[in-house]
Amino acid sequence: MHSIDPTLLPAAGIVPARLPADVAIIVPTFNEAANVPVLVEKLEAALMGHAWEVIFVDDDSPDGTADAVNRIGRLKPHVRCIQRIARRGLSSAVIEGVLSVNAPYVAVMDADLQHDEALLVPMLRMLEARETDIVIGSRYMKGGSVGEWSRARQVVSRIATSLSEFIVRSKVTDPMSGFFMVRRDRFLGASHELAGNGYKILLDLLASSPEPLRVAELPYCFRPRIHGQSKLDARVVIEHGALLLAKTVGRYIPVRALVLSCVLVGSVVVHLGLLSGALRWFEFGLAQAAASVFGVAASYVITASFRRRRPEGIAAWADVLSFCASASIGLIGNLSLAGMLYSETQTWWLAGAAGIAISTLWTHMSRSAAAVRRS
């Protein structure tokens, strides 16, 4: 380790840039501009006397997080930013950050100041002893705490942790932790097997490593957030479920195909319920149209709720019109096929199911094509 006499360092504890870093801290960010300077100060105090660097991997935050990092980086070369355009996700951000450094050890922590930076040096010492491959900050072992979480969030976290035990290859009390330090060579050894989606890179790493990682844990108390907003929402829950699928049945059935099948079945079931009710007041053609239009509107609302950036003003109206224009093609196919089948079979549920299946498949293909164009 490149330890140096603290008396030779500047007052802030900054290690000269010419020294290679022993540890790189990877911090994925989205809208954390207010927290960046505070976190850097805390890291400087905690890692004084050690050669280190911090890499903020920012998903093009509209609040200027990347600018905040770059302002500091111009004065402190051990602070830098990777700004990602048209890409998002904590796990993929961490992977990109780890691949960008040469330090033998990499730590992962959030920018929201809820993780205890004082654990970084003990983590580093444990890894340097070569008796463990990864050291995890645990909220659930003795001495740890989730802090001021609501009862509901505690229950959700406990359920997610229990489900995670099915895919983790090492005994861990907190596989959902976002705070850990790992040997970079062991991370790279698992990198080609990582799913890379969702928000739980630790779980992905523990499940993807070719050999079970030697794990150590240190307790810490989860701090309350001071600035910014929590990123926990329905999308996080869904992406966690997708990761569990990828590491279980995903080895035999492509996850995208499985998810599409679930979406298709769910769409058909909901649509048939709506169609059954509409048939009490309308003939089949109008009932199918009414149920389908309601489904299109619901699909837009759900899709919009998962976006990090939601358009406003004229852009919002343009987004609605674009969605409707795309959905109308699937809707025309839906009503045409459903009407033809109903006229031949007089079986409302068969005609309705076939029609909505066409709409759902079209919507999925158009969204996938849009995602490819943005990437």
Q: What is the pLDDT of residues 8-23, one digit of tens each?
A: 444 455 544 446 789 9
Quickly state the pLDDT bin for 134 (edges 50, 70, 90): very high
The full 3-state SS of 261-324, as one line of letters, equals HHHHHHHHHHHHHHHHHHCCCCCHHHHHHHHHHHHHHHHHHHHHHCCCCCCCCHHHHHHHHHHH
Contacts of 103 (CB under 8 A, 6+ apart): 20, 21, 22, 23, 24, 52, 53, 184
Last residue of a domain, one of 251, 279, 310: 251
Please give the average per-residue pLDDT across 205-225, as a whole number. 87
Contacts of 212 (CB under 8 A, 6+ apart): 169, 170
Q: What is the pLDDT of residues 181-205, one digit of tens each?
A: 999 999 999 888 887 776 678 888 8
**pLDDT above 80 (res 149):** no
165 vs 43, more confident: 43
Give the total number of structural domains in the chain: 2
**d(Cα 1, Cα 114) in Å, to the nearest integer?**
28
- pLDDT on residue 368: 58
Are residues 267 and 162 both part of a single domain?
A: no
Q: Does residue 1 belong to any structural domain of this protein?
A: no
Last residue of a domain, one of 222, 251, 280: 251
Q: What is the pLDDT of residues 228-242, one digit of tens each?
A: 555 454 555 556 556
Q: Does residue 358 belong to any structural domain of this protein?
A: yes
174 vs 241, more confident: 174
Q: Does residue 103 belong to any structural domain of this protein?
A: yes
Q: What is the pLDDT of residues 70-107, one digit of tens each?
A: 999 999 999 999 999 878 788 889 999 999 999 999 99
- pLDDT on residue 17: 45
Q: Does residue 314 belong to any structural domain of this protein?
A: yes
Domain enclosing residue 104, as ranges: 6-251
Cα 40 to its chain centre, rounded Å, is 23
Are residues 241 and 265 both part of a single domain?
A: no
- pLDDT on residue 240: 56
Are residues 114 and 97 both part of a single domain?
A: yes
